[in-house]
Structure 1
Amino acid sequence: MRNVSGFYLGGFGLGESIEERSALLNAVTNILPEEKIRFVSRLGLPEEVLQGVAAGIDLFDSTYIYHLTLGGFALVFPLDILGEAPEALLRNSSNDYTKINLHATIYRKDTSPIVDKCSCYTCQNHTRAYLNHLLNVHEMLAQILLEIHNTHHYLGFFRSIRRALMQEKFELFRERFMESRRVHLTEAVPYS
């Protein structure tokens, strides 16, 4: 094997199931030297990132934040997953737990920040109602403010992952995140 600084893993996120991806990621990372960086592209959803970290991926390249922002979505999931009681994680009011659609009319008069206690410029200075207005009149500032928040929030997610890894609690972190996500998906599906 050539002496390289790290390994780029491509071809993931192209239609394989979660189970298939997990098996493929593990098969590839198991044969790579642990001391070399492992870089993957196209995996950007929080669940995909957690799956990649569990398989030993070090770096991610994704357009997730860009596409999320273009759609008018804001990340809202809790970042202190280990610090909160599991039932507190389930009280998030968004319909899919990870993001909210700020185009929606329910935010027209919502004077709260995107995420309470978020320290990003957008949350410190603007409301959901203001962002809803900007998005609905197609003002370019909406995309800028939303991308500031989404980037800040996602970087916080990666900080939480690193903290969980350093505390050797990554599996607990991943389990709580995935369980919260599963509960919200189950609640969102109407049973008839």
Structure 2
Amino acid sequence: MVDAGFWIGGFGLGEGIDERPALLSAIIDVLPDEKPRMISGLGLPEEILEGIDAGIDLFDSTYIYSLTLGGFALTFSLDKSGNQYKYQKSPIESDLTKINLRAKIYRKDMSPILGNCTCYTCKNHTKAYINHLFNVHEMLAQILLEIHNTHHYLTFFHVIREAIKDGRFEKFRQTFIESRRAHYEREAVCA
């Protein structure tokens, strides 16, 4: 028989990202260490890293599903050091995490979503094909995109597990978050 753990709900419903670490710490501090802790509502890469840092073991999120419905493909860097300067920048968006495959710019783009991705979608299909499928409202567009997004996010979790195992998690987390924050600050200055 498996002992039950703790489910933490109500996050991602209005609290600021700067408020979240203190809230998570207050909750985690009163929960026993030997029981697993699962949280709902956190899904962004930064939120996952902050949750793990606070002591969360499991995540329940609609992040991948919501991205896929919107036509977005995850493209953020899976660099083992956490550096987000090595990303595939979208020619039409300033977001480091994703590209919108519904956009007209991808109509003739014969490259995969990510050149180094090993998922079925990237190995067998182009951005142009997925863009076409979205434009003709073909259900296959979401299936192919969900394959890529799920693969990308599972690889992200693999990189996190490796960082934890190697004792590099804190450095990975800091580098990942700081490099993304620096990018967003540069974009705000340029705008």
With structure 2 as the length reference, what TM-score do the two structures score? Answer: 0.91
- Counterpart in the other structure of 1:121: 120
CA–CA distance in 2 between the matches of 1:35 and 1:133? 50
- Counterpart in the other structure of 2:4: 5
Q: In structure 1, what residue type is equivalent to 2:47?
A: E
Q: In structure 2, what residue type is equivalent to 1:69?
A: T
- Counterpart in the other structure of 1:89: 85
Tell me whether 100-109 or 48-57 shows the greater mean CA deviation: 100-109
Mapped contact 2:64–2:150 kept (Cα < 8 A): yes
- Counterpart in the other structure of 1:60: 59
CA separation of 1:137 and 1:189: change in aligned 2, threshold 3 A: farther
- Counterpart in the other structure of 2:174: 175
TM alignment of 1:67-146, pairs within 5 A: 67-82=66-81, 86=83, 89-90=85-86, 92-94=88-90, 95-146=94-145
List 4+ stretches of structure 1 deviating above 3 A: none
Residues 81-108 of structure 1: CA distance to partner in whole angstroms, max 9, x if unpaired?
31x8x4x725531321110011112211
- Counterpart in the other structure of 2:162: 163
CA–CA distance in 2 between the matches of 1:80 and 1:178? 13
Residues 155-176 of structure 1: CA distance to partner in whole angstroms, max 9, x if unpaired?
1111111111111111111112
Residues 101-154 of structure 1: CA distance to partner in whole angstroms, max 9, x if unpaired?
111122111111111111100000001111111112211110000000000100
Q: Which runs of 5+ in 2 are unaligned?
A: none
- Counterpart in the other structure of 1:33: 32
Q: In structure 2, what residue type is equivalent to 1:31?
A: V
Q: Which runs of 5+ in 1 are unaligned?
A: none
Mapped contact 2:75–2:87 kept (Cα < 8 A): no
What RMSD in Å do the two structures reach over aligned CA positions?
1.8
CA–CA distance in 2 between the matches of 1:137 and 1:130? 11
CA–CA distance in 1 between the matches of 2:182 and 2:129? 30
Mapped contact 1:112–1:127 kept (Cα < 8 A): yes
Mapped contact 1:102–1:128 kept (Cα < 8 A): yes
With structure 1 as the length reference, what TM-score do the two structures score? Answer: 0.91
Shift of 1:4: 4.8
Mapped contact 2:71–2:145 kept (Cα < 8 A): yes
Q: State the secondary structure of the residue aligned to 1:18.
A: coil
CA–CA distance in 1 between the matches of 2:189 and 2:144? 34
CA–CA distance in 2 between the matches of 1:111 and 1:49? 32
Identical residues among aligned pairs (%): 63
Residues matched between the structures, number: 187
Shift of 1:15: 0.2
CA–CA distance in 2 between the matches of 1:32 and 1:116? 43
